[in-house]
Amino acid sequence: MNAPDRQLQRHPLATDVLLALIVLAISATGAVARERPESLLFTVALVAPLVWRRRAPLPVFLTIAGVALAQWLADIRLLADIALLVAIYTVAVHESRPRLALAAAVLETGIVLATLRWTLGSGAPVFVFLTGMATAAAVLGVNVRTRRAYLASLEERAAQLERERDQQGRLAAAAERARIAREMHDVVAHNLSVMVALADGAGFMAGSDPARSADAIEQVSRTGRHALREMRLLLGVLRDDEAAALAPQPGLADLDALLEQVRAAGLRVTLETSGTPVALGSGAELTVYRLVQEALTNTLKHAGANAQATVRLRYDGDGIDVEVADDGRGGSRVAAGGQGLSGMRERAAVYGGDIEVGPAPAGGWRVHTRLGSAA
């Protein structure tokens, strides 16, 4: 759409006034009964309603048709009758099909009357010509209406697709924020818990066993560096860092290192594996790793001194059972778990699992889930 077309659409009334003036100018120059003073009056009466043609298409058409009937009765032929073509075009553009049919019937009746009165022996060609003109105006209006409806549907479809795209983007962003929150919680909570336990142990042994205290401080340093590496990996993914994005995520092969880290913090923990290992996929392995990490972190924080934990991995043909149990004091660790428990449930749900958390039958605390295999 060019600039003039846009300007005309922004000012429809001014456009219709201009159109009426153009039709009036053409009609005035073509008046054949200048000797009759009512000719100019009929010309103005036929053209003037065009100013309101878009506001009330059918009433304007019927008004012009009424004036044309009075003109016919007065036996005055005027070029201003072309206003009927403009009016029937407007009805075709803006009104329904039944209203267009009514307007077309009225116009065709007028064409028959005009042909009978103002043609002498050549009525058929004139009738065909006038009917063709009226039909062309109506068909042009219907085509414009159809085109506008099609463009409006395209615009609505584009707007709907844009809304859906924005909604999908917001949902994806929310899901990514939730994933990042889980990762941040797992990384920060676990490593800080280990560092706090090590620091407490180092302070306790600083006077009685300086060598073990120094080892604990060294372990604090190693744990801190490990936490920084994991944080850089996570933040690198957020920055679209290709190297960080391609770096491997922790999995089952990293459980031994995780358990060594927990043991260094003072928690006695063992790993029991049974069954034939099955392919879980990197995402499921990361989920198992994070579940074990979160459960051991909560054990460190809440089980108390001299607690012992056991991590059990039981494979079968369909997947893996993961259980982390300790013999520490139970208490109300579900409430203490908070965000960590919610994160564990969300991770397990991705792979069709659910988290069972609560006091163990023989005392202590138990976390259990089952994940399906990747096959």
Mind listing the pLDDT tens digit for each residue in 191-205?
A: 777 777 777 777 777
Q: How far is the C-alpha of 226 from the C-alpha of 215, rounded, in Å?
A: 16
Name the nearest CA neighbour of 316 among 373, 256, 254: 373
What are the tokens at 11? 């000012």
What are the tokens at 275? 């069954």
| CB-CB contact of 103 with 66 (8 Å) | no
Decide: helix, strand or coil at residue 266: coil
- The angle formed by the CA atoms of residues 6, 12 and 14, to the nearest 5 degrees, is 105
The reported pLDDT for the residue numbered 335 is 43
Decide: helix, strand or coil at residue 289: helix
Q: Is residue 30 part of a domain?
A: yes
Q: What are phi and psi of 173, to 5 degrees?
A: -65, -40
The reported pLDDT for the residue numbered 7 is 52
| CB-CB contact of 369 with 322 (8 Å) | yes
Return the number of other C-beta atoms located less than 10 Å from residue 198's C-beta.
24
Q: Which residues does residue 312 pair with via DSSP β-bridges, in sequence order?
A: 272, 323
Residue where a domain stops, chosen among 118, 138, 166: 118
Q: Is residue 326 part of a domain?
A: yes
- Strand 308-315 vs strand 319-326: parallel, antiparallel, or unpaired? antiparallel
Q: Which letter does DSSP use for residue 207 in this model?
A: T
Range of lowest pLDDT (13-17, 129-133, 244-248): 244-248
The reported pLDDT for the residue numbered 267 is 84
Residue where a domain stops, chosen among 83, 103, 118: 118
The reported pLDDT for the residue numbered 36 is 64
Say how many domains are in the chain.
2
Q: Find the domain containing 17 and state its range.
A: 3-118
Q: Is 358 left (phi over 0), alpha (psi -120 to 50) or beta?
A: left
- The angle formed by the CA atoms of residues 134, 86 and 138, to the nearest 5 degrees, is 40
More confidently predicted of 49 and 217? 49
CATH number of the domain encompassing residue 335: 3.30.565.10
Residue where a domain stops, chosen among 102, 118, 134: 118
State yes or no: pLDDT of 238 exceeds 60. Answer: no
For 11-71, where are the E strands, in sequence order?
Answer: none
Highest mean pLDDT among 141-145, 181-185, 290-294: 141-145
The reported pLDDT for the residue numbered 30 is 57
Q: How far is the C-alpha of 208 from the C-alpha of 211, rounded, in Å?
A: 9
The verdict on pTM exceeding 0.75 is: no
Q: Is residue 167 part of a domain?
A: no
